[in-house]
């Protein structure tokens, strides 16, 4: 592969290359240094220490080149060190790096907000604010919703993930590792059932309407709809296991919210920016949220997040009520503007769809050969398989899931595990991954199952 003058995807050979055990000796040495400097509370899925990344590969200090099926958790959709992102960040870094938008503003912040207002679902008047992380976006969405409605209760869902701060870990469903020992949690948070097709007691067909009716009933009886400020939901559950709520569920919940003056907050932090084959996952069923939170894929790896919402809601909050020192940092804003250009120019929604069209049939064929794959699901470049001990009982198989991931890592394929029961392998390749690496990654996954067909 030729080198690319501005860096980025073509700068690195787009090949898998395993030249040591993984992690190799240099990574292992760094891991020892780290253990003396960084507490174990901060984990790493695969402790290979990175020197370069781009296109569909990550290169480590030992010279291994791994196929990337993680994108740094759905962040580098446009590719790592994307040339357009790198060029704009470099140019901005030489002009000014920070003034604080709340002290002395700059155009790029406004331009990012104009773009978010234009591309998020719905053609109503909108406003956006910029912050630093997905969790901070969700916190702000709740603050805004409470202020605008004068209500306090927040409804979230089983298998939901919204971050690690006090409020967002409260909104998050899973105890270990996110919440364990970190309480007491924030008050006025209520958890509802999710339309999880694979595990719905009466089967997937009735799941959407049944779950929605159950949620409406429970909100009414347990909380009182008039006390609820917001329903916060991921249109596809990310950390919860890439659960696509059954058809009809999201539109029914959105309709219930509208009828009861509850704000519908779509947490698109993981699903946004072309990842699912639409710009935003809500578009799949034509759901128009009142507020949308975004982060991860927004700025090609620079820390940026946003809340975008109906102008009448967003404009209610008093002057100075929203903000933060770094929110909408100029380097991150330039990166976001580059990402938006890249999504359009490179037709990344179509590429995400094609990734799904490549992966899903191969994974379904694999599932047909291996009973332990209970479910294959997801959309676009957000795809997962759920692994069980026995398809009849659907008992989760977290140890086998971890073993399959280990085998993939050893062969030079970076995959992530997830799910409430730790039994989901999730695939989040960069949207720019070359086709041959996508297939090679799937070959490695197939081999990992063939070597260990049963738990």
Ligand X SMILES: *Cc1c(COP(=O)(O)O)cnc(C)c1O
Note the residues at the interface with ligand X (CB under 6 A): 133-135, 138, 161-163, 234, 238, 267, 269-270, 295-296
Which residue from 22, 57, 37 is spatially nearest to 434, judged by alpha carbons?
A: 57
Q: Are 70 and 414 in contact (CB under 8 A)?
A: yes
For residues 177 and 361, which CB has a smaller minimum distance to ligand X in the complex? Answer: 177
For residues 295 and 339, which CB has a smaller minimum distance to ligand X in the complex? Answer: 295
For residues 162 and 353, which CB has a smaller minimum distance to ligand X in the complex? Answer: 162
Least gap, CB of 280 to ligand X (angstroms): 12
Least gap, CB of 398 to ligand X (angstroms): 20
For residues 216 and 307, which CB has a smaller minimum distance to ligand X in the complex? Answer: 307
407 three-class SS: helix
Least gap, CB of 258 to ligand X (angstroms): 22
Give phi and psi for 44, each to the nearest 5.
-140, 135
Least gap, CB of 227 to ligand X (angstroms): 24
Q: Which residue has the tokens 């949620």?
A: 215
For residues 73 and 385, which CB has a smaller minimum distance to ligand X in the complex? Answer: 73
For residues 270 and 420, which CB has a smaller minimum distance to ligand X in the complex? Answer: 270
Cis peptide before 23 (omega within 30 of 0): yes
Least gap, CB of 362 to ligand X (angstroms): 25
The Cα-based distances of 385 to 122, 150, 367 in angstroms read 32, 42, 9
The pair of three-digit structure tokens given for residue 117, joined into one six-digit string = 């207002």
For residues 295 and 336, which CB has a smaller minimum distance to ligand X in the complex? Answer: 295
Which residue from 28, 257, 26, 19 is spatially nearest to 149, judged by alpha carbons?
A: 257
Least gap, CB of 85 to ligand X (angstroms): 18
Cβ-count burial 8-33 (b if 16+ within 10 Å, e if not): bbbbbebebebebebbbebbbebeee
Measured CA to CA, the distance from residue 171 to residue 136 in angstroms comes to 13
For residues 7 and 163, which CB has a smaller minimum distance to ligand X in the complex? Answer: 163
CA-angle at 342, arms to 340 and 345, nearest 5°: 110
For residues 8 and 163, which CB has a smaller minimum distance to ligand X in the complex? Answer: 163
Least gap, CB of 160 to ligand X (angstroms): 8
Residue nearest to ligand X (CB): 134
The pair of three-digit structure tokens given for residue 283, joined into one six-digit string = 């578009």
Measured CA to CA, the distance from residue 336 to residue 264 in angstroms comes to 25
Measured CA to CA, the distance from residue 208 to residue 201 in angstroms comes to 12
Least gap, CB of 161 to ligand X (angstroms): 5
What secondary structure letter does DSSP report for 370? -
Q: Which residue has the tokens 């980025």?
A: 8
Q: Which residue has the tokens 């770094």?
A: 326
Least gap, CB of 135 to ligand X (angstroms): 3
């Amino acid at each position: 592969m030729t080198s690319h003058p501005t860096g980025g995807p073509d700068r690195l050979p787009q090949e898998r290359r395993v030249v040591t055990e993984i992690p190799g000796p240099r990574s292992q040495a760094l891991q020892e240094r780290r253990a003396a400097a960084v507490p174990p509370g901060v984990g790493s899925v695969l402790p290979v220490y990175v020197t370069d990344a781009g296109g569909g590969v990550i290169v480590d200090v030992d010279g291994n080149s791994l196929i990337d099926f993680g994108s740094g958790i759905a962040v580098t959709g446009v590719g790592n060190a994307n040339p357009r992102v790198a060029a704009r960040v470099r140019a901005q870094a030489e002009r000014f790096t920070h003034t604080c938008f709340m002290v002395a503003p700059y155009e790029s912040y406004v331009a990012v907000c104009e773009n978010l207002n234009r591309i998020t679902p719905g053609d109503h008047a909108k406003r956006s604010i910029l912050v630093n992380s997905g969790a901070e976006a969700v916190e702000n969405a709740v603050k805004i919703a409470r202020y605008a409605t004068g209500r306090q209760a927040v409804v979230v869902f089983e298998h939901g993930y919204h971050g690690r701060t006090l409020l967002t870990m409260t909104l998050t469903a899973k105890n270990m590792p996110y919440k364990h020992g970190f309480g007491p949690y924030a008050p006025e948070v209520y958890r509802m059932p999710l339309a999880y097709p694979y595990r719905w007691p009466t089967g997937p067909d009735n799941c959407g309407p049944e779950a929605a009716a159950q949620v409406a009933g429970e909100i009414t009886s347990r909380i009182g709809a008039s006390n609820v400020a917001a329903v916060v939901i991921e249109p596809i559950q990310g950390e919860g296991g890439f659960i696509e709520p059954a058809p009809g569920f999201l539109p029914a919940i959105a309709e219930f919210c509208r009828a009861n003056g509850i704000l519908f907050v779509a947490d698109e932090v993981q699903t946004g920016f072309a990842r699912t084959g639409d710009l935003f996952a809500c578009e799949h069923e034509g759901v128009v949220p009142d507020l949308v939170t975004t982060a991860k894929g927004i700025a090609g790896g620079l820390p940026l997040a946003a809340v975008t919402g109906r102008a009448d809601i967003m404009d209610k909050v008093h002057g100075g009520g929203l903000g933060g020192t770094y929110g909408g940092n100029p380097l991150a804003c330039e990166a976001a503007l580059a990402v938006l250009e890249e999504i359009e120019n490179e037709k990344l929604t179509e590429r995400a769809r094609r990734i799904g069209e490549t992966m899903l049939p191969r994974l379904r064929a694999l599932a047909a050969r291996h009973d332990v794959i209970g479910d294959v699901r997801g959309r676009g470049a957000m795809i997962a398989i759920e692994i069980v001990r026995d398809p009849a009982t659907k008992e989760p198989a977290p140890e086998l899931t971890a073993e399959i991931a280990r085998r993939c890592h050893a062969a030079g394929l970076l995959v992530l595990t997830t799910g409430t029961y730790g039994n989901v392998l999730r695939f989040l390749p960069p949207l720019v991954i070359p086709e041959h690496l996508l297939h090679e990654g799937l070959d490695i996954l197939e081999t990992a199952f063939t070597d260990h067909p049963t738990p």
